[in-house]
C-alpha cells in the first residue's frame, strides 16, 4: 500500500479506492504535545477494537463515522476525509488542562457540558481558540461549526450512556471531524482511552492515558480493563 502519512498514534495508507484509506493503529504513546514519548504494549490493538465497538454503537444511533470495515486487529478501512483542523473537546467533569486553566479542582462537576475547540497545529501546541478564530482563519464555516456542535452533543450523550453501563464515568474526551467525498461532515480519528478520560464509577480510579501522562503505572492493565468492559457492553447493544 502507498504510505500517506504518520501521526502520533497511527499510520495512514492509500486504499484501493481513491475515496478510502487504510489506518494502522500503533503502540506509540505521547503526551504533552509530544514532549513525553513511550510505548504502551498492545495499545494499537486495544484502541482499534474499542473504536470499532464505539463507532458501531454510534452508527446505529445515526452518527456518521469514517469507519467502513475492520481489516485486522490493528487496521481499519475508512472513508478518506479532509480533516477539519480542529480538536473538539467535551468536558463533563473538570479535569486536566481545563482544571489548571480555570483554577477549578479536578473532579468538580459542571452544570452542563463544556465544548472547547483547539487549532490542530503541532508547532503551536494546538492552541485553544473560539468560533471567531475558526471562521476568520478559514478553518470552518459557521454552518460547519453548528453541525459539529450538534453532533458533538449527541455523541456526548450517547457515550455517557454507554460508558455508564460499563461502570465508567466519561469525564472528558476529544474528537475530530472531516469532510468526505460527498462534502458530509463525519466523525473521524478514534475514540479510546487515548482520547477520553474515563474514571471507574465505584473507585474513581483513572482508566485512561492519564496513567501514562502522570506515571501512575498499570497503564496496559487499565486499557485492557476498559476493552473488556466495552466489549461486554458492545455485545449487548
The pLDDT tens digits of the residues spanning 157-204 come to: 999 999 999 999 999 999 999 999 999 999 999 999 999 999 999 999
Q: Please give the grid coordinates belonging to residue 134.
A: 475558526
pLDDT, position 4: 96
* Band of pLDDT at residue 33, cut at 50, 70 and 90: confident
pTM score, whole prediction: 0.96
Contacts of the segment 35-40: beta carbons below 8 A, 24+ positions apart: 36/212, 36/213, 38/212, 40/212, 40/219, 40/220, 40/223
Q: How many CB atoms lie within 10 A of CB 73?
A: 13
Length of the chain: 237
* Band of pLDDT at residue 32, cut at 50, 70 and 90: confident
Torsion of CA 136, 137, 141, 142, to 10 degrees: -40
Mean pLDDT for the chain? 97
pLDDT, position 185: 98
Q: Running DSSP on this structure, what letter comes out for residue 123? A: G
Amino acid at each position: 500500500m502507498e504510505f500517506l502519512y504518520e501521526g502520533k498514534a497511527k499510520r495512514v495508507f492509500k486504499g484501493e479506492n481513491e475515496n478510502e484509506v487504510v489506518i494502522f493503529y500503533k503502540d506509540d504513546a505521547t503526551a504533552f504535545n509530544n514532549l513525553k514519548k513511550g510505548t504502551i504494549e498492545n495499545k494499537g490493538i486495544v484502541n482499534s477494537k474499542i473504536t470499532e465497538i464505539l463507532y458501531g454503537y454510534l452508527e446505529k444511533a445515526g452518527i456518521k463515522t469514517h469507519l467502513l470495515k475492520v481489516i485486522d486487529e490493528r487496521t481499519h478501512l475508512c472513508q478518506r476525509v479532509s480533516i477539519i483542523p480542529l480538536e473538539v473537546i467535551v468536558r463533563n467533569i473538570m479535569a486536566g488542562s481545563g482544571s489548571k486553566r480555570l483554577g477549578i479542582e479536578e473532579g468538580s462537576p459542571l452544570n452542563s457540558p463544556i465544548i472547547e475547540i483547539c487549532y490542530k497545529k503541532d508547532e503551536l501546541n494546538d492552541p485553544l481558540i473560539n468560533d471567531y478564530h475558526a471562521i476568520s482563519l478559514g478553518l470552518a464555516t459557521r454552518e460547519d461549526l453548528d453541525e459539529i456542535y450538534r453532533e458533538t452533543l449527541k455523541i456526548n450523550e450517547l457515550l455517557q450512556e454507554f460508558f455508564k453501563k460499563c461502570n465508567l464515568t466519561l469525564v472528558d474526551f476529544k474528537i475530530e471531524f472531516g469532510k468526505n467525498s460527498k462534502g458530509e461532515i463525519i466523525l473521524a480519528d478514534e475514540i479510546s482511552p487515548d482520547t477520553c478520560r474515563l474514571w471507574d464509577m465505584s473507585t474513581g480510579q483513572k482508566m485512561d492515558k492519564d496513567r501514562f501522562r502522570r506515571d501512575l503505572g498499570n497503564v496496559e492493565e487499565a486499557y485492557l480493563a476498559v476493552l473488556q468492559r466495552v466489549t461486554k457492553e458492545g455485545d449487548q447493544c
